[in-house]
Amino acid sequence: MNSGSRDANKDPLPRHVAIIMDGNGRWARRRGLPRQAGHRAGVKATRRAVEACARRGISVLTVFAFSSENWGRPRKEVGALMTLMIEALDRQVGELADKNVRLRFIGERNSLPDAILERMNAAESKTRENTGLTLVVALAYGGRWDIVNAVRSLADDVAAGRLEPSQIDEETLSARLSLGDLPDPDLLIRTGGESRISNFLLWHLAYSECYFSEGLWPDFNDAELERAIAFFAERERRFGKTPEQQGSA
């Protein structure tokens, strides 16, 4: 966790936005379409969100594309989602690179097909030097997995004598998480009418402002993003302090 992010509460624009993109299946069902059509519409909404965040000068956008729990969905749907991910990477990485977007992936890579891993690695390499929006795609990701992975890394260092248990604190653990080099999300957006975080960035969302939208993800647009940012701008972010302390900071 970048502790400097706790001084960003006076900025009406969030530096880091995280999105749980929910509602593709329901969007398709309401139109009498297969779920795959909803996922394809969701890819278009993701592109709109990336472009909108980049225009507004938001530094980091993290999107929840596929959770570790999503492997439990029907095999046909999972296969279609993997194919869609490959298609999206093939089509859009060049455009992201041209627009100065840096692309990163977080999640359990060992669980992903080789075809996707190859494209992920190539996309990260191609955009590594870009200095605009950082787009983080959480793929085969789970917040609990992330924390366990970080703890295991620290335990390995303790066992090898590289680290003393007494040296482990919040900052040490945070640095081993998938987003350890980025500020925590200031704003979480979830579409689809649900009000839970679904094992997404469990550690990082401790002080995030949460905006829950009734709209389905394929319908997400500039206007809804603007409403979420306006909601964020109205929040008084105290991080456990009193209003008087915040005023004297």
User: Mean pLDDT throughout 95-120?
Assistant: 96
Listed range (31-45, 160-174, 209-223, 225-239) with the worst mean pLDDT: 225-239
Predicted confidence at residue 162, as pLDDT, reads 97
Q: Active-site residue among 2, 9, 70, 149?
A: 70
Just give the CATH number of 14-142+184-233.
Answer: 3.40.1180.10
- What is the pLDDT at residue 243? 58
pLDDT at 10: 59
Q: Would you call 7 a catalytic residue per the annotation?
A: no
Can you give the residue ranges of every domain in the chain?
14-142+184-233
pLDDT of residue 8: 45
Q: Span 127-138, mean pLDDT?
A: 97
- 3 pLDDT band (50/70/90 cuts)? very low
The yes-or-no verdict on residue 244 having pLDDT over 70 is no
Within its chain, how far is the Cα of 121 from the centroid?
A: 18
pLDDT at 39 exceeding the cut of 90? yes
Annotated active-site residue in 22, 146, 184, 186: 22
Average pLDDT over residues 78-98: 94
Residue 141 forms beta bridges with which residues?
67
Does 70 participate in catalysis according to the annotation? yes
